[in-house]
């Protein structure tokens, strides 16, 4: 990194409904395009960013972590207020942290976290449309937890991998799946928190499809063992909706001082 260049990390929250995903594409329309344009207007120089985890069209983020190398010096608070001024209302910087040049939003991450929010109701969502998944059948929490337990640990997750996945290996370590609900059966919200070393393309949404199949009684909990062992996408349930999926953040060495929490994490159930 050349003299005078400052590496900074930023936390970005966004509602992905209106975007073609995170990664910049010809024709624009992505979260990365909007963020880089806003940063460039504030810094008055072209800016490119690297993210911790790319998200698909319709997927949201509480705490996407990005880094950039800026030739201009600004205070952290100025980066936040100045850039947010140029961002659309459904994208916003949450924090700014100067970091050493060995920090890399993607390669320095030791883990990543996702959250899926699901409405169990006979009626489709209205106010929450685009922000939660939906299932009209009652769900069995203990059955889903029993099924999820089969996925914890290091496994070949080929059965939960999309055909477009570019990961070199399907072997990942899933450290935890926490499942909780709020409300009464037939009218409640479910929260699924996934913690892993890394995730394959569509992995969380494909796991969600299987957990919902178990929770609704269409499959027994031990079915997940057979799905995992098959190592083939056809063995699993269909990919679940993107609407309720949120990138919750990435884990880093404590010396970098990267925040792990943003206000929206408390606003959602």
Residues annotated as catalytic (active site), given as ranges? 56
Count Cβ neighbours within 10 Å for each residue of 115-128 and write b for 16 or more, e otherwise: bbbbbbbeeebeeb
Q: 261-265 long-range CB contacts below 8 Å, 24 or more apart?
A: 261/63, 262/11, 262/13, 262/62, 262/63, 262/94, 262/95, 263/94, 264/13, 264/62, 265/62, 265/63
| CA atoms within a 13 Å half-sphere pointing along the CA-CB vector of 149 | 8
Alpha helices by DSSP H, the chain: 31-43, 76-84, 141-149, 203-215, 223-230, 264-267
Secondary structure of residue 76 in the 3-state scheme: helix
**Which letter does DSSP use for residue 233 in this model?**
G
- For the chain, how many residues are written? 269
What does the alpha-carbon distance between residue 132 and residue 56 come to, in Å, rounded to a whole number?
15
């Amino acid at each position: 990194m050349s003299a005078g260049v400052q590496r900074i990390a930023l936390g970005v929250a966004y509602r992905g409904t209106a975007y073609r995903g995170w990664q910049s594409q010809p024709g624009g329309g992505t979260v990365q395009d909007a963020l880089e344009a806003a940063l460039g207007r504030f810094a008055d120089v072209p800016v490119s960013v690297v993210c911790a985890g790319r998200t698909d069209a319709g997927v949201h983020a509480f705490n996407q972590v990005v880094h950039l190398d800026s030739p201009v010096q600004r205070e952290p608070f100025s980066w936040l207020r100045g850039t947010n001024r140029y961002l659309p209302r459904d994208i916003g910087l949450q924090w700014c942290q100067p970091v050493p040049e060995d920090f890399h939003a993607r390669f320095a991450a030791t883990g990543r976290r996702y959250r899926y929010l699901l409405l169990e109701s006979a009626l489709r969502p209205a106010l929450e449309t685009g922000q939660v998944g939906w299932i009209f059948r009652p769900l069995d929490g203990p059955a889903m937890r029993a099924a999820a337990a089969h996925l914890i640990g290091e496994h070949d997750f080929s059965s939960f991998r999309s055909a477009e996945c570019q990961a070199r290996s399907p072997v990942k370590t899933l450290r935890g799946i926490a499942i909780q609900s709020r409300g009464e059966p037939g009218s409640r919200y479910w929260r699924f928190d996934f913690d892993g070393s890394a995730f394959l393309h569509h992995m969380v949404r494909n796991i969600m499809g299987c957990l919902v199949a178990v929770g609704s009684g269409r499959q027994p909990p031990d079915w997940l063992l057979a799905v995992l062992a098959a190592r083939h996408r056809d063995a699993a349930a269909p990919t679940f909706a993107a609407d309720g999926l949120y990138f919750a953040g990435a884990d880093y060495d404590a010396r970098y001082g990267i925040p792990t929490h943003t206000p929206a994490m408390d606003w959602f159930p």
